[in-house]
Amino acid sequence: VWSVKSELSFSGGFLDGRSRSDEATWVDGLAGFRGTYSLTPEIYLTGWGLVGAGGADIDWDVAATIGYQFSNTVSAVIGYRALGVDYSKNGFVFDAVQRGPILGLAVRF
């Protein structure tokens, strides 16, 4: 599920007090793969690649991380992730790629 809202407001000048907003919400289905490779009993590599569409023309999500397993139920990961989407409908356009480092904690129960 994606939900995006944009707001623009002006203060001062000849546009003082004017504002505009637009928003959209849509659902996309994704399919892909996820894998894990153990380097040692505690250290592992994991990553995923997903692609899909639905409300958007296309969206995708890829990541690569290295993790450390503290116990059978708790592990931590650090890595890099990129997420992109291309959506347009009724004049609203959201075509973006977000990327950067990720840090996570996994608890299995």
Considering Cα of 71, then 76, then 82, then 84, what sign does the dihedral take?
A: positive
Q: pLDDT band at 14, cuts 50/70/90?
A: confident
pTM: 0.81
Q: pLDDT band at 17, cuts 50/70/90?
A: confident
Q: Find where tokens 């690649």 sit.
A: 49
**What would the mean pLDDT of 72-97 be, rounded to a whole number?**
95
Q: pLDDT band at 59, cuts 50/70/90?
A: very high
Q: Find where tokens 């990327």 sit.
A: 99
Give the integer Cα–Cα distance in Å for 56 and 4.
Answer: 12
Is the separation of the CB atoms in 22 and 53 below 8 Å?
A: no
Which secondary-structure segment (H or E) carries 17? none
Give the integer Cα–Cα distance in Å for 75 and 9.
Answer: 44
